[in-house]
Structure 1
Amino acid sequence: MSKWGERSNMAITVNRRSILKSAAAVGALAVTSSSGLLPAIARDAAPKKGGHFKLGLSNGNTSDSLDPATYAQFMAVFGQSLHGQLTEIDADGNLIGGLAESWDVSKDAKTWTFQLRQGVEFHNGKSLDADDVVASINHHRGENSKSPVKSVVDVIEDIRADGSGRIIVNLKQGNSDFPFLVSDYHLVVVPMKDGKADVSGVGAGGYVLENIDFGVKATAKRFTNYWKANAAWFDSVEILVVHDVTARTNALTTGQIHAMERCDLKTVHLLERNKGLEIVSIGGTQHYTMPMLCDVSPFDNLDLRLAIKYAIDRRQLLDTLLRGHGQLGNDHPIASSNRFFAKNLPQREYDPEKAKFHLKKAGLADLKVSLSASDGAFPGAVDAAVIYQQNAAKAGITIDVVREPSDGYWDTVWAKKPWCISQWGGRPTADWMFTQAYAADAAWNETHWKNNRFNELLISARSELDDSRRLEMYTEMQSLCRDDGGAVLPLFANYVNALSRKVGHNKMASNWDLDGFRCTERWWFNEA
């Protein structure tokens, strides 16, 4: 067994030098404040306890639940307030210990042993033990699991407790990225009850559930026995769903909330003039997609998919939609900051003539298709669809933009309508992103794409320890997504949030939005 740290701080040191150094790329992303030049750092270096923090989110649904296997944006943020995971990703993109203080791995990367942190207590008074972790992870496994991370945990051959303070995980194939995977916001650790995971909202996080009205708001109060001494600064937190970006912005400027995500980039320059607010733009792995269902006509035709991909002006979208807050996408989900990014893969450009060429190969002189869009996917999604509509017209493609309601969009439209607009927060590793969204059996395979070569490479690259060989395989996989896949991926978008200057914070993480979804435990009020 190869040692990965006697203590959590030792695990950090070793991980920075190890094959898990891919997370360093996550921390090397652009972070700017409202000035556009300075790092987004705390205005008050000394965190203070106190106050009731209100956060406005753009998305939440009445179908949300406390079951981690169902978490989406609303519950992803609130769930991080209630729960913890075995590992975490810090603001610099490094993997650190969470409920696991250290871990070991065998030479073939197939057997992982996690040593649990001592003295961790759940909100119901129960002490954390290995059985809780096993039950929590098994909750996402099994033939009947509908969890979006089922494809991630399917790499597990077996998981068992080794005493009360240690778990042993045997994988089907070696996976050098496995400790990253257990940091996923779905894989929270909950207490075991009657042999199964208790998904009632009881956790070991910084805040205790008080009330929740799914799709509307949730409240929690600080957990006095939280194991982290320097976290969870607010007395209480409130997460509110405000779908409309104008209403969300008004709530911030009038002091009804203290922070909001997904600013309207058309008007963000006006917010920058408000001396009481800070605009934070963080470049990461977030990206926008227009997934076509590859098993539904007419998108089951490869040439038709290529025609649609050539019919979008990505540079216009970057300039007009994102106002420069992002980077061009190339129809695959691996960000340029990732160490396995295919830097030599030619950037696909807007080319109406090539689009016409592929339409002709598909046996068509022109095409009329519907694109479902909602600003519930991301702010400006409908505008993006309209711009696409205008671009595609020059290639003989008529796009009927169907404006869908924000409420229930992810349940009734996404991955169900033949062509729609989507958004991804991205994932810290290439394997994680591909496994969760592009593998043939992935629950969140939003295009229903199945490519045998891609899936063979996915398995091979996962257990490959030679980074140069992994780069070759991941480069080919990005090419397959680009040239065969069903996702139009035009942009990588910065996370653009607005905060009251009453809110203090340190450097923000870029692995997820809102400081890695951990804003409620990492932020504080400058004046309690």
Structure 2
Amino acid sequence: MKDLKPNNWTGRDDAMVEAAIRRGASRRDLLKMLMASGVALSAGGSLLLRAGQAVAQTPVTGGHLKAAGWSASTADTLDPAKASLSTDYTRCCAFYNRLTFLEEGSEVKMELAESIETTDGKTWQIRLKPDVTFHDGKTLTASDVVWSLKRHQDPAVGSKAAAIAGQMAEITAVDDRTVSIVLAAANADLPTILSLHHFMILAEGTSDFSKANGTGAFLCETFEPGVRSIGTRNPNYFKGTGPYLDSFEYFAISDNNARVNAVLSGDIHLAAAINPRSMRMIEGQDHVVSAISTAGNYTNLNIRLDMAPGDKADFIKGMKYLMNRDAIVNGVLRGLGEVANDQPVSAMDRYHNPNLKPREFDPERAKALFEKAGVLGQAIPIVTSDAANSAIDYAMVVQQAGAQAGMPFKIERVPSDGYWSNYWLKAPIHFGNINPRPTPDILFSLLYASDAPWNESHYKSEKFDAMLVEARGLLDEEKRKAIYWEMQEMIAAEAGTIIPAYISNVDAHSSKMKGMRPNPLGGQMGYAFAEYVWLEG
């Protein structure tokens, strides 16, 4: 196609048009400007299109962004070791940094680390980037990294990553910029493990978490647990590029419709994790777009094996046959999900077991199992909340199926505030919502090992624990895969966690917000969006 740029039109003039677009100039204003410069209308349209595309792809600095997640509580924390909610992860990603960052496609990128090397998978040497400073001006050193990692091993801290950090037998500073980590056993996944939200690096000796003192892209201006957080751009950010926003505010709107209406009305720029049934509300709305990713996020029904009625194996089996997975994927999730088989390793993971088929929906078989367990006809309570994505809709599907099997389940809907501290992991039957994790080892260590901090059904198996350790140290990929496949079968058959679907995460955001990309750690760019997005106009 012939270039429509006139001979007297220069690159400097292209930049002038782009600048005018960013200032909010209308198309009519731009055409007047082009005509005044001697550009024909036929050429002007092409110039505007090219300038518009350039503006869309080029980060713009400035602006205050308001974003809303779906869950918050008075237990919100700025302590990365104790983070357990999406709102916690979002703040941690903004105020702190990790040694590594997981990019789209599960590619490990160095963040605070300059390099991470090993020859045997057991002894690792980490070289830190130079001239990185904390928000208070202190220079990052190896001592900060050693202290931050060892802190997870202190029982008094109560780290959510204690089981994973327990793999690190020795953590020492070789010099100011070099850290040595010796694992109890070989684990080729260490660089990926260090990209988890919990492994943010703190200044040595940090004890006050009323504000964050990290190396991150934003300074912590305001932190009100259960209310909101405000971050302002770090002028001394070590990466050299970003963040692009002057500031951002993050809070929770637990009601899904209220969250969607807030982004539709322009009150917020981002509504995180909207319910699939709300997709029709944003379709056809030019000023709001959706970002969809399927990275292994799921909502699950948890039945504690150490409490009635979950202490009866036949009740657990009956509940798995009572789960109408197709109704959840096609009805509740509006097709934005994939049928799952009661274990956490999604089809996106190279270690997913494709031979493990999901249980079919069979109310009659479920009824026979309930009768065998001696619970048929009992009004057993199921705790649910908006705090877990789509959990209330899931509960309704279970209740409807229960009616077919002679089980009048009692649905107890509780508030989002306090759900994770008061009901999750505690109630005999309740829902959870698990964010994606990049390796089976991390999923199993956090959720299914006997000492897992988030062992949702209190599943315990010495065989499973031994297999977890064995697979972790294997460099033979085929042997490792075979063990992970068997472990997935064990979870699906023995644990009290029912995982009916892997959910496609949908974030709705203003068309003026640019830069969002998929991430293997979940929606909102793995909760790190604040550093990477920008606002047009």
TM-score (norm 2): 0.87
Alignment check: 8 A CA contact 2:516 2:524 kept: no
The one of 93, 105, 110 equivalent to 1:92 is 105
Alpha-carbon contact 1:88-1:96 (below 8 Å) kept: yes
CA contact (8 A) 1:42 1:507 kept: no
1-structure distance, mates of 2:118, 2:418: 42
1:178 counterpart residue number? 190
Deviations 1:399-425 (CA, angstroms, capped at 9, x unpaired): 111011111100101011111011111
Q: Give the aligned partner of residue 137 of structure 2.
A: 125
Match of 2:14 in 1: none
Cα RMSD after superposing both structures: 1.6
Corresponding residue number in structure 1 for 2:127? 115
Question: 1:201 offset after TM fit, Å?
Answer: 0.8
> Quick check: 1:73 aligned with 2:86?
yes
Q: Structure 1 CA distance, aligned partners of 2:378 and 2:352?
A: 33
What does residue range 320-331 of structure 1 map to in structure 2 within 5 Å?
Answer: 320-331=331-342
Residue correspondence of structure 1 range 407-426 to structure 2 within 5 A: 407-426=417-436
Q: Give the match's secondary structure for 1:44.
A: helix
Counterpart in the other structure of 2:60: 48
Q: Deviations over 1:14-67 (max 9, x none)?
A: xxxxxxxxxxxxxxxxxxxxxxxxxxx998111111000110111111121222
Residue among 483, 490, 500 paired with 1:490: 500
Which amino acid counterpart does residue 252 of structure 1 have in structure 2?
V
Give runs of aligned pairs for residues 163-312 of structure 1, distance below 5 A.
163-193=175-205, 199=209, 200-312=211-323
Question: What letter is aligned with 1:514?
Answer: Q
Determine helix, strand or coil for the equivalent of 2:508. strand
The answer to whether the 8 A contact 2:299-2:431 is kept is yes
Displacement of 1:96 after TM fit?
A: 0.8
Contact 2:78 2:91 in 1 (8 A): no
Partners of 1:364 and 1:256 in 2: CA distance = 49
Q: 1-side partners of 2:434 and 2:54: how far apart? A: 27
Other structure's SS at 1:47 match: coil
2:465 corresponds in structure 1 to: 455
Greater relative contact order, per chain length (Cα 8 Å cut-off, separation 6+): 1
Q: Which amino acid aligns with 2:79?
A: D
**AA aligned opposite 1:295:** D
Q: Which has the larger radius of gyration?
A: 2
The number of equivalent residue pairs is 483
**Residues of 2 paired with 1:510 and 1:171: CA distance?**
25
Q: Output aligned runs, 1:360-371, within 5 Å.
A: 360-371=371-382
Aligned with 1:106 (options 119, 135, 149): 119
Q: Which amino acid aligns with 2:92?
A: G
The Cα of 1:513 is off from its aligned counterpart by 1.6
What pairs up with 1:24-63 in 2 under 5 angstroms?
Answer: 44-63=56-75
**Residue correspondence of structure 1 range 128-147 to structure 2 within 5 A:** 128-147=140-159
1:517 matches 2:517:
no
Q: Distance in 2 between matches of 1:295 and 1:157?
A: 32
Residue aligning to 2:39:
none
Structure 2 residue identity aligned to 1:316: A
2:96 paired residue number: 83
2:329 aligned with 1:318: yes
Q: Does residue 346 of the first structure (1) align with residue 373 of the second (2)?
A: no
Deviating above 6 A after TM superposition, structure 1's stretches of 4 or more consecutive aligned residues are none
Contact persistence 2:133–2:238 (CA under 8 A) = yes
8 Å Cα contact 1:340-1:471 kept in structure 2: yes
Q: State the distance in 2 between where 1:357 and 1:154 align.
A: 44
**How far 1:363 sits from its partner (Å)?**
4.4
CA shift, 1:283, in A, is 0.9
Deviations 1:455-499 (A, max 9, x none): 111111111111111111111100011000010111100110101
Could you tell me whether the CA contact under 8 Å between 2:295 and 2:519 is conserved in 1?
no
- Which amino acid is the alignment partner of residue 78 of structure 2? L
SS state at 2:430 partner: coil
Q: Which piece of structure 1 moves more, 264-273 or 177-186?
A: 264-273
**Residues 209 and 219, structure 1, Cα contact 8 Å, conserved in 2:** yes
After superposition, the Cα gap between the structure-2 partners of 1:42 and 1:371, relative to the gap in structure 1 and judged at 3 Å, is farther
2:181 pairs with 1:153? no
Structure-2 residue corresponding to 1:27: none
User: For the Cα contact (< 8 Å) 1:95–1:180, is it kept in 2?
Assistant: yes
Tell me, yes or no, if the aligned pair for 1:86 and 1:97 is still in contact at 8 Å: yes
Higher mean Cα deviation, 514-523 or 294-303?
Answer: 294-303
Aligned equivalent of 2:399: 389
CA deviation digits over 1:150-189, x for unaligned, max 9? 1110111110111000100111111111111111111110
Counterparts of 1:351 and 1:43, CA distance in 2: 55
- Contact (CA 8 Å) 1:161, 1:168: kept in 2 or not? yes
Gaps of 5+ in 1: 1-40
SS at match of 2:212: coil
Question: What is the CA-CA distance between 1:328 and the residue it aligns to?
Answer: 0.7
- 2: CA distance between counterparts of 1:415 and 1:477? 22
Q: Is the 8 A contact 1:312 1:392 kept in 2?
A: no
Would the aligned equivalents of 2:59 and 2:244 in 1 still touch at CA under 8 Å?
A: yes
Counterpart of 2:127, as a letter, is: Q
By how many angstroms is 1:308 displaced? 0.7
Matched, 1:446 2:465: no
The DSSP-based 3-state class of the residue aligned with 1:147 is: coil
Instruction: Determine if contact 2:298/2:501 at 8 Å carries over to the other structure.
Output: yes
Are 2:125 and 2:180, in contact at CA under 8 Å, matched by a contact in 1? yes
Q: Structure 1 454/254 Cα, relative in aligned 2: closer, same or farther at 3 Å?
A: same
Take 1:349 and 1:43, find their aligned partners in 2: how far apart are those partners? 50
Which whole-Å deviations, capped at 9, do the CAs of 1:421-469 have from their partners, x for residues lacking one?
1111120101111101111101111111111211111111111111111
Q: Taking every aligned residue pair, what percent have the same amino acid on both sides?
A: 30
The residue aligned with 1:355 is 366
Task: Report the structure, 1 or 2, having the larger helix content.
Answer: 2
Cα separation, 2, equivalents of 1:154 and 1:419: 30
Paired amino acid for 1:344: N
Secondary structure of the residue aligned to 2:199 is coil
